[in-house]
């Protein structure tokens, strides 16, 4: 097939824009050939279960799926009755970027609370964790944390444990949307288990696509008592892969070694490099210090539009001129330096 794009072009819109890590492509190729039993009864999915149990705890159960939306919806469905509700931050991905999939596909209600830094606290949970036994109100049953958050912040181990302990004391279970969990773990320099199993997370949406996979995520049940029916729900919600070995092979390439950590560390480092390269440019206001792989900045009028002629990125708050720049596993130092030089040139032109 003829290549239809310029592989040298890089953007800063999303880590989803990045290609597939060569080690992941090699893993998919290695899993090819011959016949393997379908729907998860294959050698690669069996090995993935062993790896997940090794790294996240002997009770951990893994359910590979196609995408992050599916992982989140399935996780929450399995944790709640029909009348259940999820407490989450207003900025949580399940609230802002899932096009109502939790509500319409999952048939559950989101109870949101303002969280200026994107992170829930026990006190913020209490704003929606009430009305138990009131038949007129959707019943809070799950607290969902996004790690790292949509605002680029990272929950510390202590912060996760505080929310989880409080939620459990109220009879609630805890879900983590870990689409960028690897970036958070790399930023904190801790194992994945430290941020999940050991911190009190019950069910985890384990990310992969944003960290170099072709298209693979997983639901990981860390506390079997907190989830039920996933085997049936995965099929009902069209997230059951017939050729699951290729989904599992991608996840194995990422998590059976240190590829997840190498890739996440690199993306985080590129975000810091970008931040440092533009922080002294007149007219540019950086609104965060990167904790993971996202940089937020307010640009003078017109600068963003001119920059987007060469570099893709998204507006975050059009009313204030705030934009978001994301770095990925394949972002290079020269990518960052070229982008920073373009930002300087455009901002200087305005000044």
**What's the average model confidence in pLDDT over 196-208?**
98
Distance CA 302, CA 132 (A): 50
**Total number of domains constituting the chain:** 2
Last residue of a domain, one of 192, 225, 257: 257
How much is the pLDDT for 8? 86
pLDDT at 199 over 80: yes
- Domain check: are 243 and 319 in the same one? no
Distance CA 270, CA 290 (A): 10
45: its two tokens? 């999915």
**Percentage with pLDDT > 70 across the chain:** 99
Distance CA 275, CA 212 (A): 22
Q: pLDDT by residue (tens digit) across 250-281?
A: 999 999 999 999 999 999 999 999 999 999 99
What phi and psi values does residue 66 have, to the nearest 5 degrees? -85, -35
Question: Interhelix angle for 244-255 vs 43-56, to 10°?
Answer: 40
80: its two tokens? 């709640």
Q: Which domain holds residue 293?
A: 260-350
Q: pLDDT by residue (tens digit) across 117-143?
A: 999 999 999 999 999 999 999 999 999
Q: pLDDT by residue (tens digit) across 284-321?
A: 999 999 999 999 999 999 999 999 999 999 999 988 99
Quick one: CA dihedral 324, 201, 234, 129, positive or negative?
negative
Question: Interhelix angle for 259-278 vs 333-350, to 10°?
Answer: 20
- Domain check: are 197 and 309 in the same one? no
- Domain check: are 226 and 287 in the same one? no
How much is the pLDDT for 89? 98
How much is the pLDDT for 1? 86
What phi and psi values does residue 212 have, to the nearest 5 degrees? 105, 5
- Domain check: are 233 and 103 in the same one? yes
- Domain check: are 146 and 242 in the same one? yes
pLDDT at 60 over 80: yes
Question: Interhelix angle for 244-255 vs 22-31, to 10°?
Answer: 140
In a domain, 159, yes or no: yes
pLDDT at 350 over 60: no
| Cα 215 → chain centroid | 13
- Residues 6 or more apart whose Cβ sits within 8 Å of residue 3: none
Distance CA 6, CA 182 (A): 28
- Domain check: are 104 and 150 in the same one? yes
CA-nearest of 126, 61, 52 to 87 is 126
Q: Which residues of 48-83 are buried (b: 16+ CB within 10 A; e: fewer)?
A: bbebbeebbbeebbbbbbbebbbbbbbbbbbbbeee
- Domain check: are 281 and 245 in the same one? no
With cut-offs at 50, 70 and 90, classify the pLDDT of residue 351: low
Distance CA 165, CA 199 (A): 9
CATH number of the domain at 334, please: 3.90.1150.10
CB 185 within 8 A of CB 36: no
254: its two tokens? 């990422």
- Domain check: are 269 and 156 in the same one? no
- Domain check: are 225 and 283 in the same one? no
Distance CA 163, CA 143 (A): 8
- Domain check: are 145 and 222 in the same one? yes
CATH number of the domain at 151, please: 3.40.640.10
- Residues 6 or more apart whose Cβ sits within 8 Å of residue 138: 83, 84, 85, 108, 109, 111
CA-nearest of 248, 318, 71, 250 to 177 is 71
- Domain check: are 308 and 234 in the same one? no
In a domain, 293, yes or no: yes
Partners of residue 111 on adjacent β-strands: 87
**What's the average model confidence in pLDDT over 105-110?**
96
In a domain, 330, yes or no: yes
| Cα 86 → chain centroid | 18
């Amino acid at each position: 097939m003829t290549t239809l794009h310029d592989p040298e072009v890089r953007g800063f819109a999303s880590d989803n824009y990045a290609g597939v890590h060569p080690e992941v492509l090699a893993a998919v190729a290695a899993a090819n050939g011959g016949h393997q039993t379908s729907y998860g009864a294959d050698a690669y999915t069996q090995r993935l279960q062993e790896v997940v149990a090794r790294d996240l705890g002997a009770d951990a159960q893994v359910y590979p799926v196609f995408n992050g939306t599916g992982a989140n919806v399935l996780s929450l469905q399995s944790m709640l009755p029909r009348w259940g509700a999820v407490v989450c931050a207003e900025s949580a991905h399940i609230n802002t970027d899932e096009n109502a999939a939790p509500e319409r596909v999952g048939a559950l209600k989101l109870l949101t609370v303002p969280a200026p830094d994107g992170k829930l606290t026990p006190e913020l949970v209490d704003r929606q964790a009430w009305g138990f036994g009131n038949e007129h109100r959707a019943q809070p049953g799950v607290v969902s944390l996004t790690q790292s958050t949509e605002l680029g912040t990272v929950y510390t181990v202590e912060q996760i444990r505080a929310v989880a302990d409080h939620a459990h004391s109220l009879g609630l279970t805890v879900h983590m949307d870990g689409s960028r969990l690897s970036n958070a773990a790399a930023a904190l320099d801790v194992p994945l288990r430290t941020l999940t199993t050991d911190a009190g997370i019950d069910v985890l949406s384990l990310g992969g696509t944003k960290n170099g996979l072709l298209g693979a995520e997983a639901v990981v049940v860390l506390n079997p008592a907190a989830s039920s029916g996933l085997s049936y729900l995965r099929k009902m919600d069209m997230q059951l892969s017939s050729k699951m070995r290729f989904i599992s092979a991608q996840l194995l390439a990422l998590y059976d070694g240190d590829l997840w950590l190498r890739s996440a560390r690199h993306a985080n480092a590129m975000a810091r490099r970008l931040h440092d390269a533009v922080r002294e440019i007149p007219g540019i206001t950086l609104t965060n210090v990167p904790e993971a792989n996202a940089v937020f900045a307010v640009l003078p009028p017109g600068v963003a539009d001119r920059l987007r002629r060469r570099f893709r990125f998204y507006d975050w708050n059009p009313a204030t001129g705030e934009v978001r720049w994301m770095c990925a596993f394949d972002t290079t130092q020269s990518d960052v330096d070229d982008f920073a030089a373009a930002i300087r040139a455009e901002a200087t032109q305005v000044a």
